[in-house]
């Protein structure tokens, strides 16, 4: 079972063959210890350098404790309306200072829904923090320390593509809220794509012990640079069982760059094609020795893929010289490419290898017209959007999908109580086709005796009838 680990900070560092003269700019020296004396070398210089940039993140959310008996009119009549009691829910996670101005990276799930966020530094000082950017697709959030007028210690990014299985790593954090703690291990796997935590399935796997509270913490290499952000563990008990997952630094870098540029959302390249995994059966039909690569299922007309010459049934095997094992690996590699340039894609078309150059540009997003339904109706509290190519890309819908999609649901709202979910596509309401958000907004105001709603969820159409 995969679990998020909101309750501390994690930092990982490579320390085999560590020299007493610590040089963060030097390349990593990958070798086995030459003598027993080398085994007694210390991680302390790296820890001392990294610790000040690793922080604790405290998030608080006020929720209403609602008494279900208040739904009973007889109860309300004899015992009064009563007051809804407020309760403060708190969560504890970790974060990493990535810019000396006070920018902090953590996980979205650490601060999701928070009314107040505080950051505690290693020297025990606390700062209020504002949320600069949340990127749910990568589960990364960027905070900024408020009322700060100093330069903070910050970690530099390493190139996470250069990490290797077997590299030693350190985890520095606050597991279970016991206080800042250091653990170490190795990178046990790279490019894990079947984890199911975020949209971008491409994780660094480590056996450095991390536990609840480590979410948002830093994974560092032996140069004291940020290699990844710890996000989840595989556990049957809720504690560390030697398998932890971190978001690679190259993805973190993209999110931080968007925050620094003032963006409220992360803009990434758009392929304009739907990919599928290569099964053993498909591999056999294509004459492949192994089931690897990303198979092109369809191509959007006039999109970047189509303009580059990519066609259905093409097999993508690499991008910019890096191998692609499956669609998740391609999505990650493509998403971390900088906008405005081009990428070279290795393609197998039949028995012929090709190299195609694709432009790195964002998906068209005009006409989204996102809004929240406020009218009393089954849709009240739902945030909806007209499906543009950008929305389809964000929600992993087919590029030719049309209509209106639910992008968020407010807690305790009518839409949530009815059972609507993020990603639901509203096809029609009382036999009226819903093509854009204004159509659904207008339909929600009609107040019929019965609501007949057609919804597509997970590719399946659901027809629902509700009382008015």
Q: Which residues pair with 140 in a beta bridge?
A: 107, 135
Exactly one of 6, 94, 109, 346 is catalytic; name it. 109
Strand 315-319 to strand 294-299: parallel, antiparallel, or no bridges (unpaired)?
A: antiparallel
- CA of 60: how far to CAs of 39, 93, 119, 120, in Å? 44, 12, 12, 14
Exactly one of 91, 160, 215, 235 is catalytic; name it. 215
* 149 has catalytic annotation: no
Q: Which residues contact 103 (CB under 8 A, 6 or more apart)?
A: 97, 132, 142, 143, 144, 154, 256, 259, 260
Exactly one of 4, 6, 139, 393 is catalytic; name it. 139
* Residue whose pair of structure tokens reads 């620094």 in the numeric block: 260
* 396 has catalytic annotation: no
* 400 has catalytic annotation: no
Three-state secondary structure of the chain: CEEECCCCCCCCCCCCCCCCCCCCCCCCCCCCCCCHHHHCCCCHHHHHHHHHHEEEEEEEEEEEECCHHHHCHHHHHHHCCCCCEEEEEEEEEEEEEEECCCEEEEEHHHHCCCCEEEEECCCCCEEEEEEEEEECCCCEEEEEECCCCCCCCCCCECCHHHCCCCCEEEEEECHHHCCCEEEEEEEEEEEECCCCCCCCCCEEEECCCCCCCCCCCEEECCCCCEEEEEEEEECCCCCCCCCEEEEEHHHHHHHHHHHHCCCCCCCCCCCCEEEEECCHHHHHHHCCCCCCCEEEEEECCCCHHHHHCCCCCCEEEEECCEECCCHHHHHHHHHCCCCCCEEEEEEEECCEEEEEEEECCCCCCCCCCCEECCCCCCCCCEEEEECCHHHHHHCCCCCCCCCEEEEEECCCCHHHHHCCCCCCEEEEECCEECCCHHHHHHHHCCCCCEEEEEEEECCEEEEEEEEC
Active site residues: 109, 139, 215
């Amino acid at each position: 079972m995969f679990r998020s680990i909101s309750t501390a900070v994690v930092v990982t560092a490579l320390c085999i063959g560590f020299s007493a003269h610590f040089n963060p700019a030097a390349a990593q020296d990958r070798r086995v210890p030459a003598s027993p004396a080398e085994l007694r070398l210390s991680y302390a210089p790296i820890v001392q350098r990294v610790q000040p940039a690793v922080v604790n993140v405290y998030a608080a959310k006020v929720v209403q404790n609602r008494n279900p008996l208040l739904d009973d009119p007889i109860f309300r009549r004899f015992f009064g309306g009563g007051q809804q009691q407020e309760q403060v829910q708190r969560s504890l996670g970790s974060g990493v200072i990535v810019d000396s101005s006070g920018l902090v990276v953590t996980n979205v799930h650490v601060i999701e829904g928070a009314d107040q966020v505080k950051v505690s530094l290693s020297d025990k000082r606390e700062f209020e923090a504002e949320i600069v950017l949340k990127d749910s697709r990568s589960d990364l959030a960027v905070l900024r320390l408020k009322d700060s007028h100093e330069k903070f210690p910050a970690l530099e990014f390493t190139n996470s593509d250069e990490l290797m299985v077997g590299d030693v790593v350190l985890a520095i954090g606050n597991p279970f809220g016991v206080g800042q703690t250091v653990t170490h291990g190795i990178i046990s796997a790279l490019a894990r794509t079947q984890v199911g935590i975020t949209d971008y399935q491409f994780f660094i796997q480590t056996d450095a012990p991390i536990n609840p509270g480590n979410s948002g913490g830093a994974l560092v290499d032996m140069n004291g640079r940020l290699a990844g952000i710890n996000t989840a563990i595989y556990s049957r008990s809720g504690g560390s069982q030697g398998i932890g997952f971190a978001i690679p630094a190259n993805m973190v870098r993209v999110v931080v760059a968007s925050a620094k540029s003032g963006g409220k959302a992360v803009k990434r390249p758009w392929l304009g094609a739907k990919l599928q995994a290569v099964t053993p059966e498909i591999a056999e039909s294509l004459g492949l020795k192994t089931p690897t690569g990303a198979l092109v299922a369809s191509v959007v007309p006039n999109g970047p893929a189509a303009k580059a010459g990519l066609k259905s049934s093409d097999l993508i095997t690499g991008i910019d010289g890096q191998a692609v094992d499956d669609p998740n690996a391609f999505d990650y590699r493509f998403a971390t490419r900088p906008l405005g340039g081009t990428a070279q894609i290795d393609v197998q078309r039949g028995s012929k290898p090709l190299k195609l150059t694709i432009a790195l540009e964002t998906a068209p997003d005009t006409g989204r017209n996102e809004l929240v339904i406020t009218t009393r109706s089954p849709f009240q509290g739902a945030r909806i959007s007209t499906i543009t190519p950008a929305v389809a890309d964000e929600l992993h819908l087919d590029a030719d999908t049309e209509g209106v999609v639910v992008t968020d649901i407010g807690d305790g709202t009518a839409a949530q109580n009815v059972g609507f979910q993020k990603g639901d596509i509203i096809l029609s309401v009382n036999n009226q086709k819903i093509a854009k958000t204004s159509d659904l907004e207008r339909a929600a105001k009609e107040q019929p005796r019965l609501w007949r709603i057609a919804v597509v969820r997970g590719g399946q159409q659901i027809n629902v009838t509700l009382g008015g």
